[in-house]
Amino acid sequence: MVNAVPEFIKPEGVKKILQVFCCLACLCPQFVHAIKVPGLYEAETIVSSQSNEGRPAAIRACLDMVLVKLTGARDVSAESALEPILEQAERFVQQYRYQEVQGEMPALSDSDSPPKWRLAVKFDEENLNSSLRDSGIPVWDKERPSILVWLALERSNRRLFAESASEPELLAIVQEVAQRRGVSILFPLYDLDDQVKIQPGDVWLGFQEQIMAASARYRADVVLTASVSTPVPGIWEGRWRSYGKDGLKYEWTTETDLPELALEEGFNGFVDALAYEFVRSGSYALVGDIEITVGAVDSVDQYARLLNYLASLSSVSRIHVKEVRAGEVTLALAAHGGEQAVVRTINLGRILEPVESPDGHYYLLNP
């Protein structure tokens, strides 16, 4: 089933969890800086030739990568509901191109021919989204939380931040995993302003006040911290914490024999939880009558802007305008993923500003 709970938050995965302070009720802090992630429907792989024989397998491999980003499922091959779509991979191709490269990436198959070409494939967004929905599989919207990552390392009994100048390989690993999973991350500048507000030990010990104060300038939706060390020779341990508007949400550890794997496993676990929160936890059936009211709609242009924004959300399938009043519109949405997932996505955006209201979901249309 596609809606499986991420492994590290299953009961049997509790050994990896140090503490769970809440069940991921909300990962959206007070900052409104969601990112429309580009390239979600594009992927590329390395092949040994431009032959027609090898192209179907390469296109399927690219669709596999795209489905990871769209569904939040880390291992698409294990999701039986996605197999019929993967079997028709060529049907969803919008365009593809080859580029000659001197790549070091592994070949797609066990061919003796060395990889010589990069095959880049772009899939048809509307067609693919429609097929996923018809199969009962919700699509993670393009608008996703931005993530600020503080990474601290222990080297020769010293705790240091992993900066681009000193640890480019480790930062590149986190960036590569984020790109593969379809999320946007940013790293701190570690300039004088940061140095005044935060030290590596603050990340290590989880000093929330210092972490959030230093993070505020970056206006990220989620603050993620990691501290990586070798408590015993040959074992690399990563301690991870995620913070939202109410502070620490959850923390967990990873243990591997390489620092690169500790980072990859830890960040993948985080995106598993994020995807579960925003897309994989809800009902996969079409849910109707999610009612929202939007104020500060004072012109035809603003009204059109509101409707265009809601229509752009991948999860929203139908919009019904229930009532139009002076400066205010009430709409009923039909969407995939459940009410909470849709509302969280809207709350991330910069178009609508949520306002507390006893009457339900109320927003103001931003200028």
> Quick one: pLDDT band at residue 22, thresholds 50, 70, 90?
very low
Burial annotation 237-274 (CB, 10 A radius, 16+ → b, else e): bbbbbbbbeeebbbbbbbbbeebeebbbbbbbbbbbbb
* Higher pLDDT, residue 270 or 23: 270
According to the model, what pLDDT value does residue 13 have?
43
C-alpha distances (whole Å) from 152 to each of 19, 300, 309 are 20, 51, 39
- Per residue in 171-180, pLDDT tens? 999 999 999 9
What share of the chain has pLDDT > 70, as a percent? 85
Residue 263 above 60 pLDDT? yes
According to the model, what pLDDT value does residue 10 have?
43
According to the model, what pLDDT value does residue 308 have?
94
Residue 68 above 90 pLDDT? yes
According to the model, what pLDDT value does residue 29 have?
35
Residue 250 above 80 pLDDT? yes
**Which residue is associated with the tokens 């959206």?**
28
> Quick one: pLDDT band at residue 33, thresholds 50, 70, 90?
low
According to the model, what pLDDT value does residue 282 have?
56
* CA atoms 59, 65, 70, 73: torsion sign: positive
Secondary structure of 106-171 in HEC code, one letter for each residue: CCCCCCCCCCCEEEEEEECHHHHHHHHHHCCCCCCCCEECEEEEEEEEEECCEEEECCCCCCHHHH
Query: In the chain, what is the straight-line distance between the N-terminal and C-terminal CA atoms, in Å?
Result: 42
Residue 234 above 50 pLDDT? yes
DSSP bridge pairs for 250? 20, 242
DSSP state of 326: T
| 296 close to 322: Cβ distance less than 8 angstroms | no
Q: Are strands 35-36 and 42-47 parallel, antiparallel or unpaired?
A: unpaired
According to the model, what pLDDT value does residue 138 have?
83
Q: Which amino acid is at 229?
A: S
| 161 close to 111: Cβ distance less than 8 angstroms | no
The domains of the chain, with CATH numbers, are 7-37+142-280 (3.40.50.10070), 42-134 (no CATH), 286-365 (3.30.70)
Distance CA 167, CA 171 (A): 6
Distance CA 278, CA 288 (A): 18
> Quick one: pLDDT band at residue 25, thresholds 50, 70, 90?
very low
Residue 343 above 80 pLDDT? yes
C-alpha distances (whole Å) from 291 to each of 29, 231, 259, 323, 342 are 23, 52, 47, 11, 11
According to the model, what pLDDT value does residue 24 have?
33
**Quick one: which H or E segment has residue 187?**
none
Specify the 3-state DSSP secondary structure of 265: helix
According to the model, what pLDDT value does residue 151 have?
97
The token pair that represents 250 in the structure block: 């959850």
Distance CA 242, CA 208 (A): 10
According to the model, what pLDDT value does residue 102 have?
67
Residue 334 above 60 pLDDT? yes
According to the model, what pLDDT value does residue 244 have?
87
According to the model, what pLDDT value does residue 4 have?
44
What share of the chain has pLDDT > 90, as a percent? 64
Q: What is the average pLDDT across 214-243?
A: 94
Residue 271 above 90 pLDDT? yes
According to the model, what pLDDT value does residue 164 have?
92
Q: What is the average pLDDT across 151-170?
A: 93
Q: What is the average pLDDT across 8-27?
A: 36
DSSP state of 88: T
| 361 close to 343: Cβ distance less than 8 angstroms | yes
C-alpha distances (whole Å) from 102 to each of 96, 99, 119, 176 are 19, 10, 13, 20
Q: Which amino acid is at 207?
A: F
pLDDT averaged over the chain? 86
